[in-house]
Amino acid sequence: MTSIAKPPVRHPSARLNGLGLALRDYEGAMSTLCAGCGHDSVTAALVQACWELDLPPHRAAKMSGIGCSSKTTAYFLKQSHGFNSVHGRMPSVTSGAAAANRGLICIGISGDGDSLSIGLGQLSHAIRRNVDMLYVLENNGVYGLTKGQFSASADLGSRSKRGEANEQAPIDPVLLALALGATFVARSFSGDKQQLVPILKAGLAHKGLALIDVISPCVSFNDHEGSTKSYAFTRAHEVEAVHADFIPLRHAITVGEGSEPVQVVQLHDGSSVRLRPTADDYDPTDRDSAYAHVRGCQARGEIATGLLFVDETGKDMHDFLHTVETPLIDLPYEQLCPGAAAMDDLMSRYR
Amino acid sequence: MGTTDVTDPRYYHRVVDCQWACPAHTNVPGYIRLIAQGRYADAYLLNRESNVFPGVLGRTCDRPCEPACRRGRIDADPVAICRLKRVAADLRGDITDRLPKPATRKNGKRVACVGAGPASLTVANDLLPFGFDVTIFEQSAEPGGLMRVNIPAFRLPASVLDEEIGYITSLGADMRYGTRIDSMRALLEQGFDAVFVGSGAPKGKELDIPGRWDAPSQVHIGIDWLANVHFGHVREVAPRVLIIGVGNTAMDCCRTVKRLGATDVKVIARRGRKQFKASPWELADAEEEQVEIVEYHAPRRFVVEGGVLTGMEFDRVEWHTDARGRQVSTVVGETTIPCDVVILAIGQDNAFPWIETDIGIDFDQWGMPTVDKATHQSTRAGVFFGGDAAWGPENIIWAVAHGHQAAISIDAHCHGRSVAERPPEGMTLTSAKIGMHAWAYENAYDLASRARMTHESLEKRFADLSVEVELGFTPEQAAREVQRCLNCDIQTHFTASLCIECDACIDVCPTTCLTITTNGDSEEALRTRLSAPAVNTDQPLYVSDGLPQTKRVMVKDEDVCLHCGLCAERCPTAAWDMRTFDLRLPYAGQGAA
Ligand SMILES: Cc1cc2nc3c(=O)[nH]c(=O)nc-3n(C[C@H](O)[C@H](O)[C@H](O)COP(=O)(O)OP(=O)(O)OC[C@H]3O[C@@H](n4cnc5c(N)ncnc54)[C@H](O)[C@@H]3O)c2cc1C
Ligand SMILES: Cc1ncc(C[n+]2csc(CCOP(=O)(O)OP(=O)(O)O)c2C)c(N)n1
Ligand code: SF4
Ligand code: SF4
Ligand code: SF4
Ligand SMILES: [Mg+2]
């Protein structure tokens, strides 16, 4: 907790974005998380990404479950919609919101507990349905809010603050998402905004569910010696597999700048990402290649980060369900609720 | 860039913009905090330590601190530092038993001061408590110098001067009023251990253009004229007055003539407003009193008809920048402005007719003494200069600052120590943390805008020459204004070895002061990598040692830090801490025994 609100003062050279908003206009309430929590840095990265994208705050819906991570939706985009749902239920509430209003930019924030334990089924089906949303999984290897029990993402052998080692194999959200057919899979680190911000921007521009597993250390319960989700451990074992640069719409793309191989993936809204894999045999547009690479890293004790896989040709929930283009709120009442006669007509088709 | 050495007091001193800009380095945030706590007497005494005349300066200071004040870079208006000083003086109550005491034992050293202006008085203030005998020779009947005879009473009441000068004279100064020193040689022959020249810059500049001497009773030199008003030799003035020049003297002249019956008062300037020497607040005060400021007029001649001055002829000029970047004027026309009186307020010169040229005190081609910038010693050992006498006209706070330095030198000289070895500045730095989330200062940002001074009504102030115009801040106004101060003396202090590079401080900082980045060799290059490069590059960059995990460095741009302490509150390891910086200034009497 901080003793005062952040002073409403701007740096004299602060710029405004395309909507005439300053970076600080994308902030939210003062964080009540522990000082030094990785989640706060993810919040700052989201503020930066949304500001740089000229994202209209009133079009965004911030969705979350329960956990310290799930609290972060209060700390950015103070002028947006939001729904703080029950534990593990963020994906289904988001599915409903996205189904009702296609115009919303859904930003789901969850934790490793929220998504990989109680909410695992929810996450899996949101991926399978390919809900058009940004899914940020703030991964600290513990249930932070309930005082540091191991979560399902805790690595084998990782030690708790009291010294016990974790003996169950972890669920890796990246491998899970790749296996379930996710169309945008990335991993990053709260302590590396240079990597995280472009990935968040690409994820927001992606059509379908963009899963970003962000290693986000818990300073209070999982930042000690023996932890595999601490600041120091993550820094020492992180290997950036793919470097991504986000190129906004109407920005000249200079393919193949420099000597490294570069793949450019055009995103749904006309913007694009430039992907620069660090290993020769790695193709971030090939699911099997991505899966193999992440597994390989895992075997070597490395943490593979970057925009690991992207497929912009996939269908999303609206395509599967053949929903109307117009958000339901904008449909005329007669169309939204065509009346008893139309209902009878519909029913008669099933007789 | 190399790691910043914060053990050098100058680093944190520079961060306290106001204190750095103040010639006497007054601890502004310190006294503002004391006012906030209602400790007016403590605030007064803290002021007095460095600036000696808080009541006088709280009304008249040139305020070099205010344009420098950090708050001005945040929301355009600096803290009303100067008038808060007056609050401390107005509300201090009786502090007499907390003032320095006369020495109980004399040290046998005798010091002579020429002139009883602020410079000499400061020398006396600093030396008397340590047992020096200080004799002040003053040609007029009262002490204070220009503070008394030139600064009008409607800006500075005599009672305020009397009281604060009294604190010094009652330390046992031997005041020789009505005693003009006419020969330095003779003074030196009296065997003083040291002589301090604080005789000011007593000569008003002349304007030798046609007609100047044709109606001498209608043309006056500003500083002499103000002195004549002070002494009661001048009690009224004709209706139409032109003041030539637009500095401080001009402002006091124009406001004084308004009180002596003039109805049509014009201040004539050769340049445009931006180049005026007078401070913006002085101009505003004059204009409030319906004085007209006329720009771009260069005097050509006095128009005298039959021995009577009827007006003045001017070239109307335009200014532009020439190829070498200098400001040059071209004449675009001419005008005559009718008037009954002209007052020349175009500057002051020094004059030392009483210092013989063959006694080892060297003067340059312009008649200025050769004085060492640090020691204030002339080319003759044991003879020191300060105030306007040293390097030409300045202001009261500079005179005080000079007085302190000269007193250090005199102390050293009299005790056979080298005057060139200056005692060092020191500092103390103590954690301002007094609990989990509590600080020894109020860190919340107050959005209030600068308090406005209440002025006496025009009617009342014109009724009597000595009615003070500014009424001072009310306690309520003061209570709000002190909260505008950003506490720049509560410094952010970094311990690199504790940092885990979590970015919490960087994310929370409201003004984007902090960056973790790779170091480079030049400050210039480093500045381009900052999260928000500064507009004002006068404030320093802090660069840490390499951080434990990545060997990058923490860089802090001091420019617009609000000293809110949020970085320290959000830091999980207390790598950032808020520490109270207290500059320890050396004064006379603290040197080796
Ligand atoms: C009209 C006017 C308004 C001003 N307003 C301000 C203001 O608002 N704020 C501000 O900060 N500054 C102001 N100043 C400037 C300020 O007054 C001076 O800078 C300051 O007083 C200089 O102090 P000093 O001790 O060097 O000398 P002075 O104040 O000039 O004192 C010198 C003293 O020495 C005496 N003396 C000189 N020669 C001899 C001699 N041979 N023997 C004996 N005695 C001698 C003089 O009588 C005088 O009393 C103003 C100046 C003028 C002219
Ligand atoms: C239905 C239900 N079960 C259990 C809980 C208790 N609970 C609160 S938060 C939490 C785990 C949060 O872990 P994670 O999502 O990783 O968030 P973190 O605090 O680590 O960011 C649990 C089990 C709950 N609030 N609701
Ligand atoms: S904000 Fe306060 S401490 Fe900082 S420069 Fe201004 S008056 Fe001085
Ligand atoms: S005190 Fe810290 S958080 Fe506050 S403005 Fe200064 S650097 Fe930023
Ligand atoms: S909050 Fe503290 S530990 Fe974190 S980066 Fe800043 S100084 Fe380092
Ligand atoms: Mg967790």
B173: in domain: yes
How far, CA to CA in Å, does B216 sit from each of B150, B209, B221?
21, 13, 11
Chain centroid to CA A161: how far?
A: 28
Residue B330 shares a structural domain with residue B372:
no
User: Closest residue (by CA) to atom 6 of ligand 3?
Assistant: B69
- Examine the domain organization and report whether B213 and B198 are in the same domain: no
Judged against a pLDDT cut of 80, whether residue B111 lies above it is answered with yes
Write the pLDDT tens digit of every residue in A191-229.
999 999 999 999 999 999 999 999 999 999 999 999 999
Residue A252 is predicted with a pLDDT of 56
**Inter-residue contact B465 to B261 (CB < 8 Å):** no
What integer pLDDT is reported at residue B590 of this predicted model? 84
Q: Do B288 and B212 belong to one domain?
A: yes
pLDDT over 80 at B295, yes or no: yes
User: What chain B residue is nearest to A7 in terms of C-alpha separation?
Assistant: B445
Any B CB within 8 A of A194 CB = no
pLDDT by residue (tens digit) across A76-99?
999 999 999 999 999 999 999 999
Atom 1, ligand 5: residue with shortest CA distance: B571
| Same domain (yes/no): B153, B263 | no
Residues B110 and B179 in one domain: yes
What is the mean predicted confidence (pLDDT) over B259-269?
97
Task: Check A3 against B507: CB less than 8 A apart.
Answer: no
Domain count for chain B: 2
- Pocket flag, ligand 2, residue A67 (CB < 6 Å): yes
* pLDDT at B165 > cutoff 90: yes
d(CA A21, CA A271): 21
Shortest CA distance from B508: residue in chain A: A6
Quickly state the pLDDT bin for A254 (edges 50, 70, 90).
low
Exposure letters A317-341 (e unless 16+ CB within 10 A, then b): bbeeeeeeeeeeeeeeeeeeeeeee
Residues B212 and B290 in one domain: yes
Q: Quote the pLDDT of residue B483.
A: 97
Q: Which of B81, B113, B151 to mutate to test the pocket of ligand 1 (most atoms within 8 A of CB)?
A: B151
Statement to judge: residues B268 and B391 lie in one domain: no
Name residues with Cβ closer than 5 Å to ligand 6, which is an ion: A 111-113, 140, 144
Pairing type for strands B341-344 and B240-244 reads: parallel
Q: Domain end: B365, B394, B414, which one? A: B414
Mean pLDDT of B190-212: 96
Distance to chain B for A195, nearest Cα, Å: 14
> Does B253 reside within a domain?
yes
Tokens of A89: 């239920």
Grade residue A279 by pLDDT with cuts at 50, 70 and 90: confident
Q: Is the CB of B223 under 6 A from ligand 1?
A: yes
In the predicted model, what is the mean pLDDT of chain B? 96
pLDDT in tens, B479-514: 999 999 999 999 999 999 999 999 999 999 999 999
Model ipTM value:
0.93
Do the beta carbons of residue B544 and residue B3 sit within 8 Å?
Answer: yes
The predicted pLDDT at position B242 comes to 98
Model confidence at A322, in pLDDT bands (50, 70, 90)? very high
In short, whether A148's Cβ falls inside 6 Å of ligand 2 is no
CA-based nearest residue in chain A for residue B512: A11
Residue of A1, A9, A25 to mutate, testing the B interface (most B Cβ within 10 Å of its Cβ): A9
Q: Is B226 in the pocket of ligand 1 (CB under 6 A)?
A: yes
pLDDT digits (tens, 9 = 90+) for A153-182: 999 999 999 999 999 999 999 999 999 999
Model pLDDT, residue B188: 98
Closest CA to B372 of B425, B416, B427, B412: B412
| A23-321 maps to CATH 3.40.50.970 | yes
Q: Please tell me whether residues B342 and B208 are part of one structural domain.
A: yes
The C-alpha R_g of chain B, in whole angstroms, comes to 26
Torsion of CA B209, B214, B218, B221, to 10 degrees: 40
- pLDDT at residue number A10: 86
Domain ranges of chain A: 23-321
Which of B15, B506, B509, B515 best tests ligand 4's pocket when mutated (most atoms within 8 Å of CB)?
Answer: B509
Q: How far is CA A271 from the centre of its chain?
A: 18
Report residue B520's pLDDT band, with 50, 70 and 90 as the boundaries: confident
B173 and B124 in a common domain: yes
The answer to whether residues B225 and B337 belong to one domain is yes
Q: What digits encode the pLDDT tens for the residues B379-435?
A: 999 999 999 999 999 999 999 999 999 999 999 999 999 999 999 999 999 999 998
Specify the pLDDT at position A249. 81
In angstroms, the CA B515 to CA A194 distance is: 13
In this complex, do A41 and B439 lie within 8 Å of one another by their Cβ atoms? Answer: no
Residue A260 has pLDDT above 60, yes or no: no
Do B340 and B264 have their domain in common?
A: yes
B436 vs B257, which has greater pLDDT?
B257
B185: containing domain = 100-202+350-414
B170 and B193 in a common domain: yes
Q: Which residues line ligand 5 (CB under 6 A)?
A: A 36; B 499-505, 570-573, 575-576
Which residue type, as a one-letter code, is found at position A199? Answer: I
Q: So what's the pLDDT on residue A255?
A: 47
Inside any domain, residue B492 = no
Judged by CB atoms closer than 8 Å, whether chains meet at B443 and A232 is answered as no
Say yes or no: CB of residue B202 within 6 Å of ligand 1.
yes
**Average of per-residue pLDDT across B276-296:** 94
Per residue in B523-566, pLDDT (tens digit) is 999 999 998 889 889 999 999 999 999 999 999 999 999 999 99
Q: Which residues of A touch B565 (CB under 8 A)?
A: 3
Q: Find the mean pLDDT for residues B308-325.
A: 95
Three-state DSSP class for B264? strand
Question: pTM of the predicted model, to two decimals?
Answer: 0.93
Given the DSSP bridges, would you call strands A184-189 and A303-310 parallel, antiparallel or unpaired?
antiparallel
Question: Mind spelling out the 3-state secondary structure of B367-385?
Answer: CCECCCCCCCECCCCCEEE
* pLDDT of res. A251: 60
Q: Which of A13, A193, A219 is opposite residue B572, by nearest beta carbon?
A: A219
The CATH number assigned to the domain holding B310 equals 3.50.50.60
Whether residue B15 has its Cβ less than 6 Å from ligand 3? no
Q: Does A315 touch chain B (CB under 8 A)?
A: no
CB contact under 8 A, B439 and A14: no
Residue A258: predicted pLDDT: 52
